[in-house]
Amino acid sequence: MKYLTYQQTKVPALGLGTWKAKKGEVYGAVREALHIGYTHVDCAPAYMNETEVGAALKEMTGSGQMRREDLWVTSKLWNNAHLPGDVQPALKKTLTDLQLDSLDLYLIHWPVAFKPEVALPKSGDDYLSLQEAPIIDTWQAMEECVAAGLVRHIGVCNFNIAKLEDLLAKAAIAPMMNQIELHPYLQQQKMLEFCRQRQVLVTAYSPLGSPDRPKGMKKKNEPTLLGHEAIKAIAKKHGVSPAQVLIAWGLQRQTAVIPKSINQVRLRENLEAAELRLEENDLRHIAKLERGYRYVDGAFWEMPGSGYSTKELWDD
Ligand SMILES: NC(=O)c1ccc[n+]([C@@H]2O[C@H](COP(=O)([O-])OP(=O)(O)OC[C@H]3O[C@@H](n4cnc5c(N)ncnc54)[C@H](OP(=O)(O)O)[C@@H]3O)[C@@H](O)[C@H]2O)c1
């Protein structure tokens, strides 16, 4: 298993994504993943499956098949708990659901805030602005969670460089991680350079292009990553699958990569991608695929009166 290093901490570079993994299938998937050698699970209360994930974690650690300290568990603060008084209760609910005493990493899921009673907004009225719920206030409440021993590390998701820079300037505990969409169509070169300079780790989400997203989140004629001819040709040359090429590419760029699968064969296939070494020539071909394309583009937070827009979210 490859690791990313942050100060004295080692983060397993390959993790299991759990978004869209349904009740009834996620328990078996997490158990199987840990059984075959995954040591990193990416969770969130917004995925509505932390109870099942927690049952699988408990089964593996409680039965002695795995030690808690050999497992890296990440979860995220949902957008309706950004007000400082709501942060610790939200984290405690996640800990209860995951059956853990503490998390390895807790992330702000989006730099977007909802009113506390709103799970998913229906209108602009359901949002809080970043003036009403400043990121730094949320962050200080996250820092208190570290002090309380409830999480070892804290970080963010979906932050652009300007937001990260602002947070780094104000934070007492620097964010360990920015979890962002990253794959050959969205290579995030500037972000990677910025994070390298400022010692923030990067996790690549939707590394396979998130083909199982709900229809409502998909655009017409989306480009497919797994079916791209260049990816398929590189896969054929190495005798591996396109998914393995995409995962190996992310790992070779020193990012954590968290492909989601609930399928036994694909779980193993994805894990084995860590053994694949792409050649310079492969990397040059993949570099040419950049097209600034986001599958998870945040347009769902754009509604009249919300105050949030894709323009404001991303630097590009
Ligand atoms: N922080 C954020 O805002 C954010 C946003 C998006 C995602 N994430 C995290 O990142 C994780 C991964 O992203 P994602 O779920 O959007 O998409 P993804 O990992 O890019 O793609 C998942 C899809 O690929 C399929 N798949 C998995 N392995 C495969 C293989 N070897 N060959 C062919 N198909 C394969 C899966 O099907 P099967 O399950 O049937 O195998 C599923 O349909 C999420 O689950 C979540 O944990 C975070």
What are the residue boundaries of the structural domains of the chain, listed by start? 3-221+253-274+290-313
Write the burial class of residue 239 (CB in 10 Å: 0-12 exposed, 13-18 middle, 19+ buried).
exposed
3-state secondary structure of 37: coil
Give the pLDDT of residue 315.
75
Is-contact 45 76, C-beta < 8 A?
A: yes
Provide the β-strand partners of residue 77.
Answer: 108
Confidence of residue 120 (pLDDT cuts 50, 70, 90): very high
Q: Which of 48, 208, 215, 241 to mutate to test the pocket of ligand 1 (most atoms within 8 A of CB)?
A: 208
CATH no. of 3-221+253-274+290-313: 3.20.20.100
Q: What is the pLDDT of residue 236?
A: 98
In the block, residue with structure tokens 């260049």: 230
**Smallest CA separation from ligand 1 atom 41, residue:** 261
Over range 222-230, report the average pLDDT: 97
Nearest protein CA to atom 43 of ligand 1, as residue:
212
Give the Å distance between the CA of 206 and the centre of ligand 1: 5
CA of 132 to the centre of ligand 1 (A): 33
pTM of the model: 0.98
- Whether residue 295 has pLDDT greater than 70: yes
User: Ligand 1: which residues within 6 Å by Cβ?
Assistant: 17-20, 42, 109, 157-158, 179, 205-212, 226, 241, 243, 258-263, 266, 269-270, 296
Average pLDDT over the chain, rounded to an integer: 97
Query: What percentage of residues in the chain have a pLDDT greater than 70?
Result: 99
Terminal-to-terminal C-alpha distance of the chain: 34
- 261 closest CA partner among 204, 210, 218, 202: 210
Query: What is the set of active-site residues?
Result: 47
pLDDT in tens, 38-63: 999 999 999 999 999 999 999 999 99
Distance from C-alpha of 224 to C-alpha of 237, rounded to nearest angstrom: 20
Average pLDDT over residues 102-119: 98
Give me the residue label for tokens 């794959």.
Answer: 183
Predicted confidence (pLDDT) per residue in 183-205, tens digit: 999 999 999 999 999 999 999 99
